[in-house]
Amino acid sequence: MADLLSSTFAALADPTRRAILARLTHGPATINELAEPFEMTLPSVSRHVKVLEEAGLVSKSREAQFRSCRLETLPLEAADGWLAEYRQFFSERIDRLEAQLKVMMQARTNDSKDGDQ
Partner 1 sequence: MPRTYELERGFTLTRLLNAPVEVVWQAWTEPKYLDWFFNPGTVPVWPTSVELRVGGAWRQHMVENATTEYMTGGVYREIVPNRKLVFAWGARGGWPDLDEGNGPEVTVDLTPMGEKTKMDLMLRLPDQLSAAEAQAWMDKGIEPGMTMTIDRLVARFAD
Interacting residues with partner 1 (CB under 8 A)? 1-3, 5-6, 9, 12-13, 79, 82-83, 85-102, 104-105, 108
Give the residue with the Cβ less far from partner 1, 20 or 35: 20
Q: Cβ of residue 43: shortest distance to partner 1, in angstroms?
A: 26
Give the residue with the Cβ less far from partner 1, 35 or 55: 55
Q: Cβ of residue 52: shortest distance to partner 1, in angstroms?
A: 15
Give the residue with the Cβ less far from partner 1, 36 or 92: 92
Q: Is 75 exposed, middle or buried (0-12, 13-18, 19+ CB in 10 A)?
A: buried
Q: What is the edge-to-edge ordering of all strands in the sheet holding 58-60?
A: 29-30, 68-71, 58-60
- Where are the extended beta strands (E) located within 21-113? 29-30, 58-60, 68-71
